[in-house]
Amino acid sequence: MSTELHLRLGSRVLQVGTAPDENGIAATVDGSAHHVRVLARSGSAPVAGASVEELALEVDGRPHRALVARLRDRVLVALAGRVYAFETGEAATTSGDRGGRSGTVVAPMPGKVVAVMVALGDTVEAGQPVIVLEAMKMETTLVAEVPGRVTALGALAGTTVDAGAVLVTIAPPA
């Protein structure tokens, strides 16, 4: 009946184990022991593809009230005015810091490319503006995270791009 779960929060991976005991749940987080009691729990309902519920529980005697939304590979927890977006499944166990600098400039959300400020073959500095993207009537300037040479351009000015689209690829200097 005990379960093991890997939860990635940013660059951190938490290993959570749970097993029922006579008073609730005996839990471990990264090896340290904690006690959890579920005080109240709403029925889980589907909302826009997520499984949503409200949970009240005690952790080591302290009460918490949370809203939880579960998606296929993510669990979102709203607790005490903050949101914790945990990645679960295979994504969570991959080690390494995802906050690392990348040679690709990616559209953070769908929008319209207003300006492409570099050309193929250009040498760019880290922090140099490369793309102006417009979404929700706001312009945002995307910058190169690494210095290097522009080896690919994924969008033309005036085109609409999806979130995650690779707009500029930069090869670091050899």
Partner 1 sequence: MQRVLIANRGEIAVRVARACHEVGLAAVAVYSEADRGASHTLAADAAIPIGGAPARESYLNIEALLAAARAGGADAVHPGYGFLAESAAFARAVEAAGLVWIGPPPAAIATMGDKLAARAAVEVAGVPCVPGTELAPGDARAATRHASRLGYPVLVKAAAGGGGKGMRTVGSEAELAEALAAAGREAEAAFGDGRVYLEKLLVRPRHVEVQVLGDRHGTLVHLGERECSIQRRHQKIIEETPSPAVTPRVRTELVGAALAAARAVGYVNAGTVEFLLDADGRFYFLEMNTRVQVEHPITELVTGVDIVAAQLGIAAGRPLGFTQADVVPRGHAIEARLYAEDPAASFFPSAGPILALREPAGPGIRVDSGVSAGSVVPLEYDPLLGKISAWGADRASAAARLGAALRETAVLGPTTNLAFLQDVLAHPAFLRGETHTGFLAEHFPAWRERADDALAAALVAAVAASRPLATAGDTPAAAPTPWETLGPWRLGR
Footprint of partner 1 on residues 66-125 (CB under 8 A)? 66-70, 72, 75-84, 86, 88, 108-111, 114
The residue within the footprint of partner 1, chosen from 31, 33, 41, 166 (CB under 8 A), is: 41
For partner 1, give the closer residue by CB, 46 or 173: 46
Closest distance to partner 1 from the beta carbon of 74 (Å)? 10
CB within 8 A of 5, min separation 6: which ones?
A: 15, 16, 17, 18, 88
By three-state DSSP, how is residue 73 classified? Answer: coil
**169 scored as a contact of partner 1 (CB under 8 A):** no
Determine the Cα–Cα distance for residues 94 and 92; give it in Å rounded to an integer: 6
Give the nearer residue to partner 1 in terms of CB position, either 81 or 173.
Answer: 81
Rounded to 10 degrees, what is the CA torsion of 88, 56, 64, 1?
-50
- Binding track over 3-32 against partner 1, x by CB under 8 A: x-x-x-xx-x-x-x-x-x--xxx-x-x---
Q: Is residue 47 close enough to count as binding partner 1 by CB under 8 A?
A: yes
The number of angstroms, rounded, from the C-alpha of 58 to the middle of its chain's C-alpha atoms is 27
| Pair 34, 25: CB distance under 8 Å | no
Number of residues that bind partner 1 (CB under 8 A): 72
Please identify which residue in 33, 42, 73, 151 interacts with partner 1, judged by CB under 8 A: 42
Q: Which member of 102, 104, 140, 169 binds partner 1 (CB under 8 A)?
A: 140
Burial of residue 172 (CB within 10 Å: 0-12, 13-18, 19+) is exposed
Task: Give the residue from 135, 142, 146 showing the smallest Cα distance to 103.
Answer: 146
Cβ closer to partner 1: 99 or 173?
Answer: 99
Nearer of residues 50 and 166 to partner 1, judged by Cβ:
50
**Who contacts 96 (Cβ-Cβ below 8 Å, separation ≥6)?**
none
Taking the least distance from each CB to partner 1, the nearer of 40 and 174 is 40
